[in-house]
Amino acid sequence: MNDPCMVGLDLGTTGAKAGLVSASGRIVATASAGYETSTPRPGWAEQDPAAWWEACCAALRRLMRDGGVEPARVSGIGVSGQMHGSVFLDASEGVIRPCILWCDQRTAPQCDWIMERVSTMDLARWVSNPALPGFTAPKVLWLRQNEAGSYSRVARLLLPKDYINLMLSGVPCTEVSDASGTLMFDVRRREWSREMLDALEIPAEWLPEVGSSVDAIGRVTSRAAEATGLPVGIPVAGGGADNACGAIGMGVTGPGQVAVSIGSSGTVLAPTSEPLVDERMRLHTFCHAAEDTWYLMGVMLSAGLSLRWFRDELGEPEATAAGERGLDTYLLLDETAGSAPPGCEGLVFLPYLTGERTPHADPDARGVLFGLDLTKTRAHVVRSVMEGVVFGLCDSIGLMRELGVPLRMVVAGGGGSRSRLWRGMQADVFGLPITTAGESDSAMLGAALLAGVASGVFGSVEEACGMAVSRGETVEPDPGNARPYKRYYEVFRALYPALKDIFKMQAVPW
């Protein structure tokens, strides 16, 4: 076979994964390398951009060495990356300090400061998103208020994957899907928000040019080629934010479909043909990496993490049996949960183990197991944890329906999509058919498809997905389960308002 291959590179929170992808969507080879996260103080999370580049180079060298593909077949590279991180560069494009990550919580005071200067209505008009600690703009304010020496040296601000693109091509730029998560970008007009920058007193000259995710921003330099093993001169695509690339890798590029991913956290992403904004901004509104498309997204913080908590703290029987039988513990947890009825006869779990984002935006919210009595068994508890995650995801589905977003089918991704029981719960609670994504590394695949468009292998993102994205099994809703799920989802929704003030009473002061 001599068909072209694209390189997809996903810059994740724990490591970089590179893949060679054929024009038909076949994953020819993959390679990965990890890096560490530093936590200098509780709630802080930082990484060294030099460690990213070192890991990317190691993964790419291994990929090109062991992938069995002639360099002449490689048409281009696309990068997907973790969102919101702040890479501060000096006038020589040197890194000034470690990157403050998306999960870093230090900037709550800066978010309060933003809300004192900018109204909720202005946030909706200017950037279409709320002021949250994870976003980039509050990190700039934190630097100004806490590290004046570093702040005085800043000449350029980049996002994580854009730093990798700079190292690959020598070109400092970004694209619309990643810029959307900075709280400095006008999502409607697809350009930096002059109003927001002025209000926060952030220099516009620090921000790079914004292009399309499928534009070729430059070409792999000879220096980068030597470091990575990539062919010199191949196009570097603009790339995309991890959620946008993941949706492309799942084939979710236009209205009607929704991507639901259960990893440690959970996301619900629905493409739209125009920028829709929830007035209360419980959902995020971002530009998609697909051309002329936006998306709404809800985020829950402890999705798969809730089941992992149960496995680690209360799952010893399943873990022991799994070890004896050579099975995955999660498979046996599925079996245990499957023996309890839908709705768990009134046992309801709130999955707010690390607070919650959508729809409550409440860091003080906590997990609750409600409805325990002497009839409840271990199976009820495991199943209630899984159902609580689905109810949390359904909150985002409901908000999207309120905004008139057409939802016809869900494509499930993340580790949770491997559980047929969990997929069935989603189908029944959402009232929608659930189809699995054909490729688990959807962000890496999506980045590779963007490279395919940038290098001319495909004419558009839609064409790339049509040719290269596959789907797995579809689970249809079971009408017999609708009644118990409807009843106990109403209980689930009533619990947070009833407990909100109590959550704040028990919050641990930092």
The 10 Å Cβ neighbour count of residue 455 is 21
Concatenating the DSSP letter of every residue in 360-427 gives T-BTT---EEE---TT--HHHHHHHHHHHHHHHHHHHHHHHHHTT--EEEEEEESGGGG-HHHHHHHH
Question: 10, 242, 334, 428: which is the annotated catalytic residue?
Answer: 242
Q: What residues contact residue 51 under an 8 Å CB cut-off, 6+ apart?
A: 35, 36
Task: Kindly state the helix (H) or strand (E) to which residue 502 belongs, with its residue range.
Answer: helix 482-506
Interhelix angle for 316-325 vs 329-338, to 10°? 120
- Which one, of 454, 413, 475, 59, lies nearest residue 218 by Cα? 454
Q: How does strand 216-219 pair with strand 74-81?
A: unpaired
Please state, in angstroms and rounded to a whole number, the distance separating the CA atoms of residues 385 and 111: 32
> Cα–Cα distances in Å, from 484 out to 360, 412, 478, 480?
24, 23, 12, 9
Taking a C-beta distance cutoff of 8 angstroms, is the pair 475, 423 a contact?
A: yes
Q: Three-state SS for 510?
A: coil
Residue 359, preceding peptide bond in cis (omega within 30° of 0): yes
Whole-angstrom distance, CA of residue 42 vs CA of residue 30:
35
- Strand pairing class (294-300; 266-272): antiparallel
- Cα(174)–Cα(168) distance, integer angstroms: 13
- Among this protein's residues, is 3 annotated catalytic? no
CA dist list (Å): 393 to 196, 221, 248, 429: 31, 43, 20, 10
- Residue 152's CB is within 10 A of a number of other CB atoms, namely 10
Q: Which two tokens stand for residue 134?
A: 């994870």
Distance from C-alpha of 35 to C-alpha of 50, rounded to nearest angstrom = 10
Please say whether the dihedral angle defined by the alpha carbons of residues 263, 268, 272 and 277, taken in this order, is positive or negative.
negative
The letter for the amino acid at 133 is P
Q: Residue type for 499, please?
A: L
Tracing tokens 């970089």 back to the chain, one arrives at 16
Q: How would DSSP label each residue in 89-146?
A: E-TTS-B-SPEEPTT--TTHHHHHHHHHHS-HHHHHHHTSS---TTSHHHHHHHHHHH
How many DSSP H helices and E strands does the chain contain? 18, 24
Provide CB contacts within 8 A for 52, sequence distance 6+: 11, 16, 35, 160, 163, 164
Residues with a known catalytic role: 242
